[in-house]
Chain A
Amino acid sequence: MSSLKHKGKGPQAMTANELRDGYSVWLDENLDWTRDYSKSLRTEDQDLIDRMQLKAETDEAKNIVVGTYFIDIESDTGKPARYREKFRVAGPSYDTADLLETK
């Protein structure tokens, strides 16, 4: 696991994995789940953060997503602070499947 622990300070985003497909997802501005991190809601607004928390709990209970948690966001770059979370956003730097698709 990354040496950087979640601090819960500064901008936050809510992430999870889809129950059916397992893919990483983030809550967007409409509080819908998106696989595209660039569309994710990253905010310091406590009201919004509370709504994100509620939405995550609701959708976990509805079995849409699993393993919801907040991640810290770098204020200057908008990227996740933790190295591990950066990887969840970027996807594998290598995947044999990508080679097969280019064939």
Chain B
Amino acid sequence: MYRYDEFDAQLVAERTKQFRGQVERRLAGRLSENEFRPLRLMNGLYLQLHAYMLRVAIPYGTLSSEQFRMLAHLAEKYDRGYGHVTTRQNMQYNWPKLPDVPDMLDDLASVQMHAIQTSGNCIRNVTCDPYAGATAEEIEDPRPMAELIRQWSTLHPEFSFLPRKFKIAVTAAEKDRALIKAHDIGIQIVKNDAGEVGYKIIVGGGLGRTPIIGQTLREYLPKSELLAYLTAALRVYNRYGRRDNKYKARIKILVQETGIEAFREQVEAEYATIDISDIAVSDAERERITSYFASPDFEKLDNDPAELTEALGNNNAFSLWAKNNVADHKADGYAIVNISLKPKELAPGDITAEQMRATADLADKYSFGELRTTHQQNLVLPHVKQADLPALFAALEKVGLATDNINLITDIICCPGMDFCALATARSIPISQAIAERFADPERQRLIGEMQIKISGCINACGHHHVGHIGILGLEKAGVEFYQVKLGGDASEDAAIGKVTGPGFSEEELLDGIENIVELYLVRREEGERFLDTYKRIGMAPFKEVLYA
């Protein structure tokens, strides 16, 4: 885990102190709301539909158990006993009070956390593959690079007032768990023909009201050139990105209007003007950062220990959970454990303070004190001994965190929607809960197999509905909620935007329609096909027919 250096600690301490003064001046009336609003947003504090909302940054989705306990403390002391994991791997609190926020930020700073750059037209918190450092699929751990970008982008004077917000995602595996093609810039660690490790740079992806899949800007960028190249790309965006219309201000619109070839030429021309040595990171510095992410001291173990195989044979509930929620680890005898935050009774991504503390304890006991948040609004314990899986499962069951639905139809991504968000047009949480109820039967979920439903409560698409196998967009007309459906979206390395089926539905019609789609898929699927595969093979028409039947 990365530890703050003296500069990080000083910066966060100063920023927190500044915000305390700003809140005091606001409460005393020495700052107007117009003056205060940009200041609070720079510290992650929004005023939502019913109350303030504080968004805490979780850089690249990596947390220590100590930090997770602090998030539990915040939920309990300053909020209403729970937090919400967002689709950018952050944690949101729905009910903080303005006078408490400086104390919350002080508490966060005590465990090297903050809420800086979780809002505003700046480079936002960098997101990352939640399996980073644990999966054998990656070329190397992408988090040192993500940390480098965090340091470079934090309060970057040139890029603090961009035309619009800027989101970067990173991965080091071919299998994309970070949605890099739907980010302003996506970075994949790759090897060139000479076997050297560097970066593939993807630009101009994004969801929102204009969903676009990112395009390759550079097939291969040497490691030492990363920050200089990002600087060039950001400069071109800063110069030409539209500031006259916030709906056309993201880099995806600039790249689309300019064309990728011309945009690339602009970036390369800008890049040629930069003295790379000015900004290049030395090998020593890169190694220093990387050293913080060194693998834990894994024991030399064998795969499939007796404790595991015995439990798989004797305990059906454990066996089903292990099959669904556990992924292969790079070290023999270890496993990556996904903890679903999609039990039927809670909103997707919500976790209580009690559950946070329990998970932190389990991370200490079974996963070297480390855990991750995912953009799919779940948690990951990255380094668990396979022999410990039965005990971990039993402990998770006790706190309601053993739901075995990862990547199944009830593992739904869902934004807060009209229940909390000031921008929403319709509710999304009740829709996800109704779908979870309709498909509650675990056997049926497993029969259906991999199915990603994603729900957004407005066209801003925080619920990633554009890339859902089934995407649902909540809208409202004349005081009535209705839901538009998309099919065929894909959030993987084969990223694709789903296609709208046609007119929207009421909630009840929507549930029946999804049921019909699922039934058709089960009838028409061929051996080994996921829903998405069947959709790609037979197309929209048959699904549309049953959806509107």
Contacts and interface: CB of A to CB of B under 8 A. Distances in A.
A97 B98 contact: no
Interface of B: 26-29, 33, 47-52, 80-82, 94-99, 345-347, 350, 352, 418-420, 423, 425, 427, 429-430, 433, 476-481
B49 A94 contact: no
A95 B420 CA distance: 9
A47 B299 CA distance: 79
Interface stretch (A26-34, A36-44, A50-58, A81-89): A81-89
Q: Is the interface of A mostly helix, strand, loop or mixed?
A: loop
Interface of A: 1-4, 17, 19-24, 60, 62-63, 66-67, 81-84, 86-88, 91-97, 99-100
Given A21-B97, A83-B476, A83-B479, A94 B430 contact: yes
A97 B50 contact: no
Contacts of B425: 1-3
Contacts of A22: 47-48, 50-52, 96-98
A67 B352 CA distance: 31
A19 B51 contact: no
Contacts of A60: 33
B50 A92 contact: yes
Nearest to B52: A22
Given A83-B476, A94-B419, A97-B80, A20 B27 contact: yes
A23 B51 contact: yes
Q: Which of A60, A63, A67, A88 gathers the greatest number of chain B CB atoms within 10 Å?
A: A63
Given A4-B479, A19-B98, A20-B97, A99 B346 contact: yes
A93 B346 contact: no
Q: Which of A62, A66, A96, A100 has most B Cβ within 10 Å?
A: A96
A89 to B, nearest CB: 10
Given A2-B479, A17-B51, A87-B419, 18 more contacts: A1-B425, A17-B47, A20-B98, A21-B97, A23-B51, A60-B33, A81-B479, A82-B479, A83-B476, A83-B481, A92-B420, A93-B429, A94-B433, A96-B80, A96-B346, A96-B347, A99-B346, A100-B352
